[in-house]
Amino acid sequence: MSDHPYRILIADDDEDIVDFVSTYLVDESYETVCAYDGEETLQRFAEAERANSAADRIHLVLLDVAMPRVDGFEICRRIRKASSVPIIMLTARAEDVDKIVGLELGADDYVCKPFNPRELLARVRAVLRRSYAQDSAADADAD
């Protein structure tokens, strides 16, 4: 994993949020893939899953709940059926029931808007560290 940056799929119907989060993550040496509705999110994820190299796959999904065409909860459910890729819900839906539903559907973390970008970055790093710790250990053993 250390030979290439992590690729993060940012899915939100608010283009300003997508642009802000993408710029912030790119400045921190992550690659980003952006989607603006549920169908596009599923399409971009499926395309990345078919990639031949690990570098072209999605390593983490930042997912809004309230998106057109397919909502974030349904996307989370569909992705989780097919993949163990980490998912962080990034949404204005801040009720306890929404957080519980998101986590029970398979999200690894749940961040409410408005959010502190430094906290989001820390959560992204923590989820990636936990999710890919085995890959890092295997890389270290190979050295």
Sign of the CA dihedral running 99, 105, 110, 114:
negative
In 3D space, the residue among 30, 32, 33 whose CA is nearest the CA of residue 4 turns out to be 30
Neighbours of 1 (CB within 10 A): 15
Predicted pLDDT at 59: 97
- For residue 95, count CB atoms less than 10 angstroms from its CB and return exposed for 0-12, middle for 13-18, buried for 19 or more: exposed
Dump strand ranges (E) for the chain.
7-11, 31-35, 60-63, 87-91, 109-112
What is this structure's pTM? Answer: 0.91
Mapped onto helix, strand or coil, the DSSP state of residue 52 is coil
Q: What is the pLDDT of residues 85-119, one digit of tens each?
A: 999 999 999 999 999 999 999 999 999 999 999 99
Tokens, residue 50: 């078919």
Sort strands 60-63 and 31-35 into parallel, antiparallel or unpaired.
unpaired
Domains of the chain plus CATH, in order, are 7-137 (3.40.50.2300)
What pLDDT shows up at residue 1?
47
pLDDT at 53: 86
One digit per residue, pLDDT tens: the chain, 143 residues?
A: 445 699 999 999 999 999 999 999 999 999 999 999 999 999 999 999 998 888 899 999 999 999 999 999 999 999 999 999 999 999 999 999 999 999 999 999 999 999 999 999 999 999 999 999 866 555 555 55
